[in-house]
Structure 1
Amino acid sequence: MNTVSLAFAFCVLFQDAPGPDLVKAIELQRGGRHWIDQPTDPPKSPEESQACLQIEPGFKIQLVACEPIVRDPVAIDFDHKGRMFVVEYGDYPVGPKDPNEPPLSQVVLLEDENADGKMDKRTVYAPHLKFCHSLLAFRDGVLACTETQIMYLADTDGDNVADVREVWFDGFTPAHPQMQIGCPRYGFDNWIYLTYGHGKVRCTRPGFETTEPVDIPRVDFRFHPESMKFEAIAGAGQFGNTIDNFGHRFFSSNRNPIMTDVLSMDLVQKNPFAGVSVGHTDVGPSGEKTRVYPIVTMKSNWLSHAGTHTSACGVTAYRGGLFGAESDTSVFVCEPVGHLVTRSVIEPMGGTVTARRARETADFLASSDTWFRPVSLATGPDGALYLADMYRLWVEHPKFVPDDVAAKMDWRAGEDKGRIWRIVPEKVSDVKPFVSPTTTEDLVKMLGDGNGWRRMLAQRLLVEGKRVDAEKSLRSAVRNSQFPVGGGLFFRTPLHALWTLNGLNLLNAEDLQAATSMTIDGGWIGTLNRDAVKLIRMEHSGNKDLQANVSLQMRGPNGETRMQAILAYDWSNPQIDQRLLGIAGSCCDDIWLQRALLIAAPNRAADFAAAVVDQSRRDSSTAAIRADFLRQLALNVAVRGDVDQLKKLASIVGESPESGLWWQTAIVIGLADGLPRCQNAEVPKSLAAFLQTPPATLKDSVAPIEKVVQLASETAVNKTHTDVDRIAAMGLMSHLPPEALTSALETLLTPGESTDCQRAAIDAARRSGRAELSEIVLAKWDQMNPQSRSAALDLLLLRKESITLLLQKMAAGTISSSVVSIDQRLILLQHPDETIRTTSTALFGGTVSANRKEVADQYAKALDMKGDMIRGAAVFAKTCSKCHRINNVGHNVGPDISDTRARARDALLYDVLDPNRRVDPQFTEYIVVTTDGRLFNGLMIAESTDSVTLRQPEGREQTIPRSEIEDLKTTNKSLMPEGIERDVTVEQMADVLEFLKGRS
């Protein structure tokens, strides 16, 4: 819901020139100032608001509840009786005015007593829940998520008021009221999944208490309601979490409308050399690539994100079965700042799924009523889609708005209002009412219902009630699943029957054997295959009889099933089916299938490499993707040090390179990267040592590798070869004997060499970790191409010793201090070493002028100048593109600024001059100092118990093992430094404005 601050953004767009006091004008235009004093429409009646809604053809929207029956609704769920429970988020955004007052959020029960389709009775089920924003109907009550807790609320005396208020989990740490533990959903595997589980968490449910808190990182969370086992899971959800008809879990954050978890945390951490830092991914477009089509102007704070998602939330997979052919795969996302709801269609893509817009140039639902704030949805027992409309004037949080603007805003405007809407197909006149099942037979039958909400309810009630008398019917559904007799009802039943048996602890190997006896691409049975294979891995991994079926599914057409089969197969079996070793050839173009192979079978990496090379001989159209896969495979071979696999890899390298030298080089680079971490004591720990004194068993195998290394060494410095070949060859240079890289560096850092080759040489020096190479770079400074010096500075700024040498040359005037960019300057001015900080301050005079008004007055001149678009594009490429991307130029490191054309000019200028005034937590800079003295700065995009991953300017990702970290801290600032005026003249500013204003 909050829009991302422009903490990183330099690139700006101005409208009309301001008056003489630019700072005052900027203040009026920044961070909501461009609309805070504009008149706002008054709230509309429910009938008037309904008239403002435009919905996708074929659907209609009906009012279910409004004030005074409901207010501030943000979450809806239905219990096993079909009753509607609603969370009213009265605490949003900052809690009660008087801190001594009780919390304002609560759970209410809404009932339709006269059966006219509208709620007419309201009962406060559970009042005074601190910042409660989500719930799950569960057992005889609800699970409710508050600011730091998960609570179970239940009514035991029949008055529809919860007299049981148990805290089941405590210790969660919220980031803000939009990002806290929440959105509980019951999964197919009978676990309960939630978003943002960060904190030091303890189970406090009576009878299941844990004494020591578990440290959960900034990822998602799940627990098992029977055992109360809990754990961190892959994911980065904010407000939005859903399970679709096929068991996919989707979650959202403000700029990422649909994400999914592909690999569990245990798999991500299983092989630290698989190159996998996170187990989740975007499903379809995110950030600047998303598209929304509001029918009224969006009023966000300081980044409008015009035409894209800025407050994506409430992601919901529709499961009601009423919406037609695409209903099984439709996912809806709320966009409250845009007053709309989008619809996407989920489609398979390799080992995971992707999403496409259902309508190219219009959204599923949009309103011209600026108080309409859709925040979440839910499938109902009747198959309809229900929408929670918070109906507030503002949904931004004050944390993301400047203080003076926040002081003017009535944050609680609309707190006495709220609407709930029902969406059904236009031709549906009467929806069959829900009748709560009572018998086991009724529940089993409901597992095949056309409404997914009912199917999941039936599964949950069977498991909750320990209905073991359903065993025969459930087992029959699973074992006969591969021989359908027709009808969608039959197809739906086996998938839920499988997980119900599992939840009742009745699932056996024969059930899984039957569920995996055939391969089907997609659909209900394809999903059954996938989940059965997953259960084989989780609970029957040692069953040799099931491995044949796993092998069968690995060769099948369904990408998700193949990935689960890769993970479930016993790759240590010496009698392995040789056909399976070729699986990598058909997986080599999908990154998630690649990762599955690296996680599951590092012991077969050389065999997989052979399959990739064989496939590439026939088709090398995706050489870049395959080269990285080959490098990772070779790295894993080197790390393990298995002699047979090393021999296999060497023989592959020795094969004729008719398909190109790229794959040979990729393999040797992978070997060189992995050998320093080799786990076989008999194998030398560097490529040079490996080639010079290989183990006796490998003496006859190194010749092909030596040949590639020699060829690479010669190619790198030979100008008769193409730059493409020379740059590829430089990838090996950091692993060659010191004199080879020294010679190459001295040769390439001379006039007449291309910038790309020079930068490749500098990059090789950086990757080698050899501090003495910095002296060569400094000595060759005047001979380097100007465009190469930025890469050279990145190298020099890695170590204290080279920084000291650089500053000495600058102080002596040998190297101009003006070549140091603003972001590099900031590194020096914030360096842990006091001498470096002092010297840098003397050289650069501090980061910026302390008088921001003086700077603002200086840049006001740019507003009246006629800029040049071409020159502006060049300034953007030089100054901004390390962290921002526009028109396919640059890197997506900082906040998305693709919408600058719609941004108020003065507002953005102020953000440029004061980038640290408001910084979204996800764009906060971290600084890491390693035990060997290297310094890295960037955004923390992933962390685990073993490592942290930073995203640096130019999109580089640096994963640093925690064992090598001496110091890790946040600056609490943007990666974009203050003082852009040191690098950009007033004239250049005018050019950039022209570029941003006129670009297509």
Structure 2
Amino acid sequence: MIWNSINGRVKPATWLLVLTCFCIGHGKPAWSQKLTDSQALDLIVAAVQQTPDADVQAALLEGMLQGLEGRRNLKPPAGWAQLQQQLAASNESQLKQSAQRLAQMFGDSAATETAFRIVLNRNATTDERRKALAALTAQRYQPLSAKLIELIDDPELQLPAIRATSVLPTKNVADQLLKKYRSLDLAAQRVVVETLATRKDFAAAMVRGLNSGTINTQDVPTYVARSMREIAGKSFVDAYGEVQELKQDTAATIKKYKSMITPTALAKADAGKGRMVFKKTCGACHKMYGDGGSVGPDLTGSNRANLDYLLLNSVDPSGDVPEGYRTVIVQTIDGRVLTGVIAEEDNQRVILKTVDNPRVVIAKDEIEFRKVSPKSMMPDGQLDQMKPAELLNLVKYMQTTSQVEAVK
């Protein structure tokens, strides 16, 4: 809701201003009524108009942007036209940018065309271009679709442009991604693989890429392979092979690894090399010492010094998945299939955290169906893929008490 997005962004004095505006317009205290989003927007616009404090204005506008994220075709709130003119004349670039993004959400064609020009303008700042690209993608601005392949060659916009192809697909765009695949760095290749697993026609392109050797099977993480098996079925399994599942008894597997990870073996291991193993194997989803992804739990404060705890959660990640980290599969009415964990949810939208994108906003009226998988996004059998030295180095790193320098 709009209120929740603003709460915590503004000072008590700002709330007093907002509440005063409400009382002037409605004659009753705001806390005595349950406001609709429309009423809340009218109230916030009035507050922004009446405060001379640029920081307060910025906080309120950012709250509006957060609260409306993922929604389209919105009716402008009362007073918006006047406020837009007021902000356009401001000397504060942040206020101008926020007003521009809000105007797009409210269907202002001039603001949308300006955003499109910003995306294509290499002299604009990276932040401006990325925000404009994100806003246009959220709007489903069709003229952008014809430029996405071109934008993939722009280092500043490469990753969001790849992701946008799934939201604004054009004919043969998945095959165009395959043509570029080998020329991309590893991070971009990972985003391409993720993106190809979001639509049935894209998934068919991944199968073609696997069969032709453009995409190697080791380029497809297990969590993506599970999604692909759901979307493409037998054709994917034929090209990729069986998706690995845990076949051994958990207790026996843990016993095997404990026999390898002895104090003597750990003493010879290299935590710096283990950090590199962590980055490659775990870092896409987990943070440690502030570095890494945010799909799974932050491991910095976990019980990782305990070898039994470490092995149990690595060998059988789906054995006890906390509710907040259960895998959710969402299919949208336009054919995308997204896999992640729920970051936020309200009555208007769902926000997923995926491995390559920490914030995917989906309006609830665009969801065809969703289901919760009993499987963790963390793949089974990861330790089986490691050489003994890599395993020992990883465990040595996981048991450190402070960050160490990475060693290649």
TM-score above 0.5, yes or no: yes
Q: 2:189 aligns with which of 789, 794, 802?
A: 789
Contact 2:250 2:315 in 1 (8 A): yes
Task: Give the equivalent residue in structure 2 for 1:595.
Answer: 63
- Equivalent positions of 1:895-914 (< 5 A) are 895-900=297-302, 903-914=305-316
Task: Give the equivalent residue in structure 2 for 1:207.
Answer: none
Contact 1:942 1:948 in 2 (8 A): yes
Q: Specify whether residues 837 and 776 from structure 1 end up closer, same or farther in structure 2 by C-alpha distance, changes over 3 A only.
A: closer
Task: Give the equivalent residue in structure 2 for 1:606.
Answer: 84
Tell whether 2:19 aligns with 1:541. no
Contact 1:862 1:990 in 2 (8 A): yes
Provide the C-alpha distance between the structure 1 equivalents of 2:50 and 2:182, rounded to a whole number of angstroms. Answer: 52
Task: Give the equivalent residue in structure 1 for 2:241.
Answer: 843
Aligned partner letter, 2:181: W
Contact 1:871 1:991 in 2 (8 A): yes
Provide the C-alpha distance between the structure 2 equivalents of 1:647 and 1:998, rounded to a whole number of angstroms. Answer: 51
Show CA shifts across 1:794-846 (max 9, x none): 111111222223224324545321111122223234x1554356537x61353
TM-score w.r.t. structure 1 length? 0.33
Provide the C-alpha distance between the structure 2 equivalents of 1:984 and 1:798, rounded to a whole number of angstroms. Answer: 28
Show CA shifts across 1:163-192 (max 9, x none): xxxxxxxxxxxxxxxxxxxxxxxxxxxxxx
Task: Give the equivalent residue in structure 2 for 1:822.
Answer: 222
Show CA shifts across 1:608-642 (max 9, x none): 65366x224xxxxxxxxx4xx76653243134345
Task: Give the equivalent residue in structure 2 for 1:928.
Answer: 330
Contact 1:581 1:611 in 2 (8 A): no
User: What RMSD in Å do the two structures reach over aligned CA positions?
Assistant: 4.2
Provide the C-alpha distance between the structure 2 equivalents of 1:906 and 1:800, rounded to a whole number of angstroms. Answer: 41
Aligned partner letter, 1:800: K
Provide the C-alpha distance between the structure 2 equivalents of 1:279 and 1:667, rounded to a whole number of angstroms. Answer: 18
Show CA shifts across 1:762-802 (max 9, x none): 34534533362221221233333234311111111111222
Q: Specify whether residues 671 and 783 from structure 1 end up closer, same or farther in structure 2 by C-alpha distance, changes over 3 A only.
A: closer
Give 1:970 shift: 0.6
Tell whether 2:43 aligns with 1:568. yes
Task: Give the equivalent residue in structure 1 for 2:368.
Answer: 966
Provide the C-alpha distance between the structure 1 equivalents of 2:243 and 2:298, rounded to a whole number of angstroms. Answer: 31
Provide the C-alpha distance between the structure 2 equivalents of 1:787 and 1:767, rounded to a whole number of angstroms. Answer: 20
Aligned partner letter, 2:370: L
Q: 1:885 aligns with which of 281, 287, 293?
A: 287
Show CA shifts across 1:525-548 (max 9, x none): x6xx955852762x65256xx9xx
More strand by share: 1
Provide the C-alpha distance between the structure 2 equivalents of 1:795 and 1:972, rounded to a whole number of angstroms. Answer: 23
Provide the C-alpha distance between the structure 1 equivalents of 2:26 and 2:290, rounded to a whole number of angstroms. Answer: 49
Tell whether 2:205 aligns with 1:805. yes
Provide the C-alpha distance between the structure 2 equivalents of 1:640 and 1:982, rounded to a whole number of angstroms. Answer: 52
- Equivalent positions of 1:297-696 (< 5 A) are 351-352=10-11, 530=15, 534=19, 537=22, 540-542=24-26, 568=43, 571=46, 580=49, 583=52, 585-587=54-56, 590=59, 594-596=62-64, 602-603=80-81, 606-607=84-85, 609-610=87-88, 614-616=91-93, 626=94, 633-642=99-108, 646=110, 661=125, 665=129, 668-669=132-133, 672-673=136-137, 676=140, 686=141, 688=143
Q: Specify whether residues 604 and 773 from structure 1 end up closer, same or farther in structure 2 by C-alpha distance, changes over 3 A only.
A: farther
Show CA shifts across 1:399-449 (max 9, x none): xxxxxxxxxxxxxxxxxxxxxxxxxxxxxxxxxxxxxxxxxxxxxxxxxxx
Task: Give the equivalent residue in structure 1 for 2:149.
Answer: 742
Task: Give the equivalent residue in structure 2 for 1:41.
Answer: none
Q: Specify whether residues 663 and 760 from structure 1 end up closer, same or farther in structure 2 by C-alpha distance, changes over 3 A only.
A: closer
Provide the C-alpha distance between the structure 1 equivalents of 2:18 and 2:331, rounded to a whole number of angstroms. Answer: 44
5+ residue gaps, structure 2, are 29-38, 69-76, 403-408
Contact 2:273 2:393 in 1 (8 A): yes
Provide the C-alpha distance between the structure 2 equivalents of 1:648 and 1:584, rounded to a whole number of angstroms. Answer: 27
Contact 1:926 1:937 in 2 (8 A): yes
- SS at 1:949 equivalent: strand
Contact 1:883 1:890 in 2 (8 A): yes
Show CA shifts across 1:944-997 (max 9, x none): 333222122255211212232222111133332322235433322211122222
Contact 1:926 1:938 in 2 (8 A): yes
Contact 2:326 2:372 in 1 (8 A): yes
Task: Give the equivalent residue in structure 2 for 1:481.
Answer: none
Tell whether 2:392 aligns with 1:990. yes
Give 1:927 shift: 0.6
Report the identity percentage: 18
Aligned partner letter, 1:587: V
More helix by share: 2
Provide the C-alpha distance between the structure 1 equivalents of 2:355 and 2:199, rounded to a whole number of angstroms. Answer: 18
Contact 1:886 1:898 in 2 (8 A): yes
Aligned partner letter, 1:883: C
Q: How many residues align?
A: 375
Contact 1:950 1:957 in 2 (8 A): yes
- Equivalent positions of 1:55-74 (< 5 A) are none
Provide the C-alpha distance between the structure 2 equivalents of 1:608 and 1:832, rounded to a whole number of angstroms. Answer: 49
- SS at 1:780 equivalent: helix
Give 1:942 shift: 2.7
Aligned partner letter, 1:847: E
Task: Give the equivalent residue in structure 2 for 1:360.
Answer: none
Give 1:741 shift: 3.4
